[in-house]
Each structure stands twice: as C-alpha cells, then as structure tokens.
Amino acid sequence: MTGDMIGTTNDGAGWVDVARRHMMRTYPDTDVVFVSGHGSWLVDADGNEWLDLLSGIAVTGLGHAHPAVTAAVCDQVERLVHTSNLFLTTPALALAERLADLAGWADGRAFFAQCGATANEAAIKLARRHGKQQHPDKVRVVTLEGSFHGRTLATLEATGQSSKHAPFAPLAGFVDTVPHDDPAALATAVGPDTCAVLLEIVQGEGGVRPLRPEMLAAARAACDAHGALLIADEVQTGVGRTGTWFAFQQTDVVPDVVTLAKALGNGLPIGACLAHGAAADALHPGDHATTFGGNPVTAAAALAVLDVIAEQGVLDQVVTRSAQLRMGLADIGARTGAVREVRGVGLLLGVALEGVAAADVAASCRSERLIVNAVGPDVIRLAPPLTLSAEEADLALGVIERAIDHAATHARRTEPV
C-alpha cells in the first residue's frame, strides 16, 4: 500500500528520481523508499517488508509506530503543539523531572534540544560558561579519537575523525584529541585551560568500541583535578540501549553532564542536556536558548517512551536479547572464521569482521531485506529495537550468517593471485 498521492509520483522508482533531482547529496545514493513500519519491521513503497536491526540509527528503540508513543503524540497534537520556551509546558517539565530521577540526580536540571548535536552544543557551551567562571581561558575541550559528537561546527570539531573535518577546515581550534585507549595521554591533555572532557561510554559511530574502565577513571580524575566537567555523550547509548537507563550506570564513574537524543522520542526529534551539581547552575538567563527544543509533542513522546520501558520490563529484555545475539554471532564466527570479535553493551553491538568487508556484508543483508550498517571498514553495527523478539533475532542471525558466507566467498574469488 503506497497511501494517498502526496507528490508528483506514486511508486518507488519515481521517488528515487525525485531524490536524484531535488535532495542535496549529503548521503550515499539509495533506492529504498519506506512508507510505513510496525515493530521491528519497515515496509517499502513497493510493499516489501524489511527487518530493521538498525532502528533508524538507534532511534526507534521501541520499534516503529509503537501504539503508546503514537497515542501520546496524537493526544498532545490535539491539545498543544508549541509555545516557545518563553513559557512552561507540562510535558517538558514532567520529562525534566523524570530524567533527573532516572539519572539518580536529585538536583538534576535539563536543557532540551532538537537532536544529539544540539544537546552536545548545549553541553559544550555550559562547560565553557562553567570554566570561564574560574578563568577566562578555561574553554578547551578534550575528546577521544574515533569519537562522534555531531555535525554542527563545534560538535564536528569535537568529533575525533579528521576526515570529517577536512572539507570544512579551519575549525575553531578549541579541542584537544587523544587516543581512545590511552589514559596517560588523557591525563596529560587535561590542564588548567580545559573546561570539559567529552566522551562516549561506548563509541557508536567509531566502530562500537566500549571505553576501558581505566579511560573513564582517568577522565574523572583529570576533571576533578582541574575543575573541568566530565560530559558523557549518551546520545546513542542512553534510554535503555545498553540495558540500563544510562550506560554510565554500568560504570564506576558519574559524569557531571550527560546528553541524550536518539532513542528519547522514539523518532520524534528531541535531545536533552542533563546536568547536576555546580554544572546544573552554570547557564544563566539569556546564555542559551532554542525555539523548538523540548516542544510539547516531542516531550510527550519521550514521556511515553520512558513509561513503556519502565512498565514493560524493556531493560531486562535488552539483556536477554543481547545474550542471544552475542551467542549466535559467536557461533557464526566459529562456523565461518570471519568474526574477529563481537563487542558492545546491551543492544549496541559491533561485529568486527576478519577477511571480509563490512560494506559487503551489509549490502548482502540488505539484498535479503535485513537492515544493518557498517561503522568502519570491518565492523557491522547492530542496534535493533529494544523490543526485538527472540524469533526476529534468530531470523536476523540466519541472514547475517549467509551474508558473511557470501561476502567471504566473494572476497576469496576476487583475491589477487
């Protein structure tokens, strides 16, 4: 079913042609057009069903078109859509209260943004404001190689991937980047002019790499020694993806600031910058603002997401399904010899491949209508809905095994003699 005619065409091929002519080419070309979804499944413009193990990049944690989220959004749309942040609205207030409670921060305060990058922008500005209260030059930010923090100019600079900087250089020059697994280098990089260390507990885009506990401990100690803030970018790991509300809750470290976005609204665009302690009072009226952030509709969606996760035992499901997928992937590795390592936490998993290209495996999965994506040349990321069923997980494992076999055969055939 393709629905009512909303443009000049009504089929997949027609829409792909519109994309070629009228969309900026910021993404690789694709010819898949989706029109609806339900649970772990997407439906394309030609009526085919796809199993979605990417969840719109770790966003639709409760699956597509979750009835509780849909109901909350519809109800809020009928009531009130927007007021600006010059006034208070109840969904945003209830959400701020809930997030502080889930973080375990009685004095927690939230700033709501539209997405991950704008949540991180708020965190960076907050940290600079906090730093400048101590010293006018205390504005530098330390980040890790391989990190991803967003695409705005400040978050791009904080992203430890120089290939993404090159087309836009020069950048502002306020970031110091250190290796992701070198606690001594991190300790050295943090100094009196550092206002924050910004890091992911599990690097998502950088290849699903969990940080070693020593790195987190070094970051916390360096921040404490120099009056800097530790910011955990939980845009990808937050809202239950790792089996706890926040990934930091499985570590020995408590950050000063945490950012959320992706799964918070199950697809409705909302981000949050959450702080406690002195950091929570660093920004003053007029310092920072947004027209849309924390809009009642997106906040209502987020509240519904948190309700469903809490009431339906979703965090436990994450742990169970993660174990199932890990075991299945280990078996695939044993049978094919093409899996070097399975890493990650909860339902953010990275399959590090040996002798086969991640892009080939992802493409082969897509030819069987299973969505996974490559993060780096040799890593496949799985970020399924947190509600993925055991049967769906088995189905996906079968496709992944065939895809790895296919890619391995292809790689052997094309190997130079």
Ligand X SMILES: *Cc1c(COP(=O)(O)O)cnc(C)c1O
* 8 Å CB contact between 120 and 259: yes
Give the one residue of 15, 112, 148, 248 binding ligand X; rule: CB under 6 A.
Answer: 148
Q: How far apart are CA 203 and CA 395, in angstroms?
A: 27
Contact between 200 and ligand X by CB under 6 A: the answer reads yes
Site map 230..259 versus ligand X, x via CB under 6 A: ---x-xx-----------------------
* 8 Å CB contact between 181 and 215: yes
Give the one residue of 39, 91, 146, 204 binding ligand X; rule: CB under 6 A.
Answer: 204
Structure tokens at 12: 């997949």
- Burial class from Cβ neighbours inside 10 Å (0-12, 13-18, 19+) for residue 362 reads buried
CA nearest to 154, candidates 178, 177, 173: 173
Per rule CB under 6 A, count of chain residues that contact ligand X: 15
Site map 58..97 versus ligand X, x via CB under 6 A: ----------------------------------------
Maximum pairwise Cα distance, the chain: 70
Nearer to ligand X, 39 or 265 (CB): 265
CA nearest to 272, candidates 12, 94, 50, 64: 94
Strand order in the sheet with 49-52: 34-38, 41-44, 49-52, 370-371
Give the one residue of 186, 201, 261, 403 binding ligand X; rule: CB under 6 A.
Answer: 261
Give the one residue of 72, 117, 197, 393 binding ligand X; rule: CB under 6 A.
Answer: 117
Contact between 345 and ligand X by CB under 6 A: the answer reads no
Residue 81 Cα distances to 75, 76, 169, 291, angstroms: 10, 7, 39, 13
Phi, psi of 186 (to 5 degrees): -65, -45
User: Taking the complex as a whole, how short is the minimal distance between the CB of residue 146 and ligand X, in angstroms?
Assistant: 11
Nearer to ligand X, 239 or 407 (CB): 239
Of all residues in this chain, which one has the CB nearest to ligand X in the complex? 116
Nearer to ligand X, 132 or 151 (CB): 151
Give the one residue of 205, 360, 392, 401 binding ligand X; rule: CB under 6 A.
Answer: 205
Contact between 157 and ligand X by CB under 6 A: the answer reads no
Chain positions contacting ligand X, by CB under 6 A = 115-117, 120, 148-150, 200, 204-205, 233, 235-236, 261-262
